[in-house]
Amino acid sequence: MKQDHIALIDTLRRELGANAVVDNPDALMTYDSDGSVMVKTPPDLVVLPTTPAQIVMAVQHAYRHNIPIVPRGAGTGLSGGATPMRGGMVIGTARMDKVVQVDIPNRRALVQPGVINFELSQHVKSYGYKYAPDPSSQKACTIGGNIATNSGGPHCLKYGVTTNHILALDLVLHDGTRLWTSDGVSDRAGYDLTGVVVGSEGTLGLVVQALVRLTRLPEAKRVVLALFPDVVSASEVVSTVVGAGYLPTSLEMMDRNAIRAVNEGYQLGLPPESEALLLIEVDGVEDGLDEQLEAILAICTQHGALELRPARTEEEQNRAWAARKNAFGAIGRLAPAYYLVDTVVPRTRLPFMMEQIEQLGRQYNMPMANIFHAGDGNLHPLVLYNPRDPDEVQRAHAIAEAVMRLSIEEGGVISGEHGIGIEKQNYMAMLFNAADLQAMAVIYATFNPRAQFNPAKMFPSNSDPLKLAEQRHSRITRSSNTLAASELGPRLAAVVGQRYLHTGAGAAPFAVQGQTATYVAEPADLDQLATVLSVCHRAGATVVAWGGGTHQQIGNLIAAPDVIVSTQRLNRVLKYEPKDLTISVEAGMPIATLQRLLAAQGQMLPFEVDQPERATIGGLVALGWTGARRGYGTLRDLLLGLTIIEVDGTIIRNGGLVVKNVSGYDLVRLFNGSMGTLGIIAAVNLKVLPRPVHESTLLATFATPEAALATLAQINATHLVPTAVEYLDRGALAQLGSVGEAALAVRAEGMPAACERHMRDVAALAQQHAALETRTLTDGDHNDHSALWQAIASLASTHDAIGDIAVLRLCVPPADLPAALAHVAELAQTHRCTIASSAHAQHGVILMRVSCEQATLHTLHRTLVQRWRHCHLLACAPERKAGIAVWGAEPEGAVLMQALKRAYDPTLRLNPGRYVVS
């Protein structure tokens, strides 16, 4: 073994260069931990590659020698993620710090994993862009490390966390295989491998390049520093500001101990009687921002603010932020060390948690302070202690554990942005049951079958994830086919009742692309749904899930399923606390019902969907549905947690009902868009949004598509932040009852002045391109505005694609939109067919309603796939799908997708053959 080790080091030195390997024991000691120092154990060697190819080489050697691989960025993590628990090879990315490509037209950048977060933002600043996630360690931490822990930061309240900003990952797997998880094109088909890898804490592979989303720098911002006599009133302000429809970028809170520390350390002159400090930042276009600031100041005053320090100039804002940014340092100086606990609770539970935390400090006689992301409910209590006093260390850990227990009891999770690592691995079992952990272990076993990547992390220390996956596999395979097929009907009837089990003609309305199932079961609740799945599994029946049936046209043609499971009776609200801006509902709840429920509280889900009275939330999640209105992200970005019924009827839960969460693998992202092929979605937890103060849309029609697209390009170059920009061609306009060659519908939401500014500027740009007409729509007396967007959502409706009608979706990088539209127009002319196109213009997604004969449909689809790869034949008369690979070209990472499908559904019973991999 020793000899082997020396040989390995020699080989690595030869292949990667003498400087690329560290093996001196004294030097290796400096790699024994990361930003956390709870456990220290040095690696056997450190490799510092400079290229992806060198990483592949290093991983291949580690694979051959079967030694652990521990990825390391800057080592600023706080949960022990980069600590080499079992020694082995640390692969450091410090020398891979190149921004490979900045692609402004597509608003993305290709970066190596060692690029420092802050420096990426600096790099793209001159283009008017930033990389949005900004963890407090941003000046040192790397993008690779951010990906591993799904990092957040003070601005993620508005802009989202890392997973919302990673488009695709270039990943090296345990055996040295290198693959992309995606090509970064919006709305492509296939499982969300990118979403799975983000937050996986280096246990699934090594990211060698990342394609990241770039965000437009705001035109302006305003900051308020508000001081309050107590934490409760400050918390009230948090809820009120958010609830009133202002979408701050940051809502950061500090308690009195933190305030005092900062005051002493930096002489900020904050009133000593203040118990809570709130930093509120809003940004956007200049117009309306001062009104927004005034409104926020008024809310603060109503809640008894002691002092308000509005900051309008950049210098004032920097001063305000200094209080927050220097806080950790100021507190750090009060004691030799601090234990920074990271948990999340629903926002409304903050005052209670603060009380409890203070009590814990008293109980254990330890000084504490709180600085946290209040807007997200992300707590960060700091326990000050002396690491050389074993008793203090023990008390600090006891407090941390108590905070975690309390957070879980209050409906929260154990990590918002630091990850599990080794710090919290033994708390995972508090949050998840055995089945939940087993379902996560499937991912581990699929990517990391020899437990080489970052072993002994994330899962409880007494459980081996490979064993967990194995246990699950044998649970499923053992129970399969244990029931005679003839028993299926009677057993299903026994579960749901005869009334809710349909066969023959009764099952006909549930036909999937012309295929009628033997049975249609309508379980009444979660338990019935689970039992139905269990019965199907034991009887060896294939199962297709059915929400509202509005999108069943989508996907490959399949054989008639044995059972269709409808979720229509699972339509209850499980939990809705408007002040938390979260809701948990059963999967079968129709979108319209959900929207009405939210509207009653002045809230919304920011999208419009075709047939909202029928389409269900569970169905949309299964589809990975996206729409035109993406200013707040897509449904993927709003999903917080899922309850899933596995193929054998086991109920698992993943995610939570809080807006930030890095607690284990993100099955939520994986199951979103998995088309019911991995499990059945039973309940959905969502982030909801306050209804904007004002909304309006500018509809500009043009004489040519080129004029519309030139206007679009100009809009993209401004600071405007429309929530939707839809391109409409002549056919689409005709469907909307309008005339013209091309049009843009540009939607703005927010303060009235901000909306007006958008309307004014877009109209002016449209005029420059000789717009034929510009019309501003608002929801005045006639609801023109809502009606327009509802109509746009129905343009590419899939349920009526019959006869010679087909609906196709073409996904391209946003900068290729004009070329793709031109290509479509050219094909329409060549093949003499009519195509009505609309496009989510800032995202490169084109929806086409094609009227043509069969041969033409084939040619059209094939040609578009050849040129653009992602052309999906969403819907047409079922018989016309024969011989067409409806999902277009094989997606990147198909091998892993296959493996995941086989691991989650080993008996291949769930919606078999329907999706892009089967």
Partner 1 sequence: MATIPTPKMASASEPTAVEPIPLLGFSDKDRPTDELINACVHCGLCLSSCPTYRETGLEMSSPRGRIQLMKSVSEGLIGLDSPVFQEQMSQCLNCRACEAVCPSGVQYGTILEASRAQIAQARQLQEQKQLPVRSETLKGRPLWQRSLHQIVFNGLFNDMRQFRAFSGLMSLYQRTGAQWVARKSGILKLIRMAEMETMLPATSRHFVVPQGQVYKAEGEATYMVAMLTGCIMSTAFVHVHEATIRVLQKNHCDVILPPNQGCCGALHGHSGDLDGARDLARRNIAAFEGLGVDAIIVNAAGCGSTLKEYHHLLHDDPEWHARAERFVAKIKDVHEWLTEIGLNREGLGTLPIQVTYQEPCHLVHAQRISTPPRTLLKAIPGLELREMAESALCCGSAGIYNITQPEMAARLGERKINHALQTGAQVIVTANPGCHVQLVGELRRKQRDVQVRFIIELLDEAYQRGAA
Asked if 81 interacts with partner 1 (CB under 8 A), we say no
Asked if 388 interacts with partner 1 (CB under 8 A), we say yes
Positive or negative, the Cα torsion across 234, 235, 240, 245?
positive
Asked if 474 interacts with partner 1 (CB under 8 A), we say no
Contact range with partner 1 by CB under 8 A, out of 70-78, 216-224, 515-523, 735-743: 70-78
Contact range with partner 1 by CB under 8 A, out of 139-147, 151-159, 515-523, 708-716: 139-147
For residue 793 the two structure tokens come to 């959502």
Asked if 329 interacts with partner 1 (CB under 8 A), we say yes
Which residue number, 34 or 648, has a Cβ lying nearer to partner 1?
34
Asked if 346 interacts with partner 1 (CB under 8 A), we say no
Contact range with partner 1 by CB under 8 A, out of 199-207, 228-236, 324-332, 532-540: 324-332
- How many whole angstroms separate alpha carbon 62 and alpha carbon 298? 61
Distances (CA, A) of 910 to 60, 483, 504, 542, 850: 35, 18, 21, 6, 31
Contact range with partner 1 by CB under 8 A, out of 201-209, 330-338, 730-738, 851-859: 330-338
Which DSSP letter does residue 417 get?
Answer: S
CB of 83 to partner 1, least distance (A): 11
Which residue number, 177 or 326, has a Cβ lying nearer to partner 1?
326
Which amino acid would we find at residue 632?
Y
Which DSSP letter does residue 881 get?
Answer: G
Measuring CA to CA, which residue among 491, 490, 549, 540 is closest to residue 516? 549
Q: DSSP for 289-303?
A: HHHHHHHHHHHHHHT
Which residue number, 36 or 911, has a Cβ lying nearer to partner 1?
36
- How many whole angstroms separate alpha carbon 493 and alpha carbon 501? 6
Non-local CB neighbours of 826 within 8 Å, separated by 6+ positions: none
Asked if 486 interacts with partner 1 (CB under 8 A), we say no
- How many whole angstroms separate alpha carbon 347 and alpha carbon 818? 44
Asked if 137 interacts with partner 1 (CB under 8 A), we say yes
Q: Are 224 and 280 in contact (CB under 8 A)?
A: yes
Asked if 333 interacts with partner 1 (CB under 8 A), we say yes
For residue 469 the two structure tokens come to 């996956």
CB of 30 to partner 1, least distance (A): 4
- Contact residue for partner 1 among 95, 178, 397, 691 (CB under 8 A): 95
- Contact residue for partner 1 among 6, 7, 10, 30 (CB under 8 A): 30
Which residue number, 114 or 184, has a Cβ lying nearer to partner 1?
114
Opening angle at CA 400, ends 395 and 402, nearest 5: 95
- How many whole angstroms separate alpha carbon 448 and alpha carbon 351? 42
Which residue number, 260 or 843, has a Cβ lying nearer to partner 1?
260
Contact range with partner 1 by CB under 8 A, out of 332-340, 476-484, 496-504, 587-595: 332-340
Which residue number, 294 or 314, has a Cβ lying nearer to partner 1?
314
Which residue number, 34 or 749, has a Cβ lying nearer to partner 1?
34
- How many whole angstroms separate alpha carbon 72 and alpha carbon 45? 13
Count of positions on this chain that bind partner 1 (CB under 8 A) = 40
Asked if 76 interacts with partner 1 (CB under 8 A), we say yes
For residue 223 the two structure tokens come to 């900051």
Asked if 739 interacts with partner 1 (CB under 8 A), we say no
Which residue number, 335 or 791, has a Cβ lying nearer to partner 1?
335
- Contact residue for partner 1 among 6, 7, 37, 802 (CB under 8 A): 37
- How many whole angstroms separate alpha carbon 234 and alpha carbon 254? 10
Asked if 92 interacts with partner 1 (CB under 8 A), we say yes
Of the CA atoms within 13 Å of residue 639, those in its CB half-sphere come to 31
- How many whole angstroms separate alpha carbon 833 and alpha carbon 851? 6
Binding track over 276-315 against partner 1, x by CB under 8 A: ----------------------------------------
CB of 59 to partner 1, least distance (A): 18
Of the CA atoms within 13 Å of residue 511, those in its CB half-sphere come to 11
- How many whole angstroms separate alpha carbon 467 and alpha carbon 552? 37
- Contact residue for partner 1 among 23, 87, 94, 405 (CB under 8 A): 94
Strand-pair category, 689-690 with 603-604: antiparallel
Residues in the chain: 918
Which residue number, 83 or 235, has a Cβ lying nearer to partner 1?
83
Asked if 114 interacts with partner 1 (CB under 8 A), we say yes
CB of 94 to partner 1, least distance (A): 3
Binding track over 646-685 against partner 1, x by CB under 8 A: ----------------------------------------
Contact range with partner 1 by CB under 8 A, out of 73-81, 686-694, 757-765, 879-887: 73-81
Q: DSSP for 153-215?
A: -TTHHHH--GGGTEEEEEEE-TTS-EEES----TT-SS--HHHHHTTSTTSS-EEEEEEEE-E
Contact range with partner 1 by CB under 8 A, out of 328-336, 402-410, 600-608, 795-803: 328-336
Contact range with partner 1 by CB under 8 A, out of 28-36, 249-257, 487-495, 587-595: 28-36
- How many whole angstroms separate alpha carbon 601 and alpha carbon 300? 22
Asked if 604 interacts with partner 1 (CB under 8 A), we say no
Burial class for 478, CB neighbours closer than 10 Å (0-12, 13-18, 19+): exposed
Distances (CA, A) of 582 to 268, 350, 414, 689: 36, 15, 18, 8
Burial class for 27, CB neighbours closer than 10 Å (0-12, 13-18, 19+): exposed
What number of other Cβ atoms are within 10 A of residue 544's Cβ? 28
Which residue number, 35 or 419, has a Cβ lying nearer to partner 1?
35
Which residue number, 114 or 590, has a Cβ lying nearer to partner 1?
114
CB of 675 to partner 1, least distance (A): 42
Asked if 133 interacts with partner 1 (CB under 8 A), we say no
Asked if 17 interacts with partner 1 (CB under 8 A), we say no
Opening angle at CA 12, ends 6 and 13, nearest 5: 90
Which residue number, 338 or 789, has a Cβ lying nearer to partner 1?
338
- How many whole angstroms separate alpha carbon 88 and alpha carbon 82? 12
Contact range with partner 1 by CB under 8 A, out of 27-35, 512-520, 688-696, 774-782: 27-35
Q: Are 821 and 727 in contact (CB under 8 A)?
A: yes
Contact range with partner 1 by CB under 8 A, out of 68-76, 425-433, 543-551, 570-578: 68-76
- How many whole angstroms separate alpha carbon 746 and alpha carbon 153? 30
CB of 34 to partner 1, least distance (A): 7
Asked if 201 interacts with partner 1 (CB under 8 A), we say no
Q: Which of residues 140-199 bind partner 1 (CB under 8 A)?
A: 140-141
Q: Are 368 and 383 in contact (CB under 8 A)?
A: yes
- At which residue do the structure tokens 């118990």 appear? 275
- How many whole angstroms separate alpha carbon 257 and alpha carbon 507? 65
Contact range with partner 1 by CB under 8 A, out of 23-31, 480-488, 590-598, 865-873: 23-31
CB of 76 to partner 1, least distance (A): 4
Q: Can you say how many angstroms the Cα of residue 485 is from the centroid of all Cα atoms in its chain?
A: 40
Contact range with partner 1 by CB under 8 A, out of 94-102, 471-479, 652-660, 900-908: 94-102
Asked if 729 interacts with partner 1 (CB under 8 A), we say no
Asked if 119 interacts with partner 1 (CB under 8 A), we say yes
Asked if 322 interacts with partner 1 (CB under 8 A), we say no
Interacting residues toward partner 1 by CB under 8 A = 19, 22, 24, 26-27, 29-31, 33-37, 46, 48, 74-76, 92, 94-95, 97, 114, 116, 118-119, 137, 139-141, 326, 328-329, 332-333, 336-338, 387-388
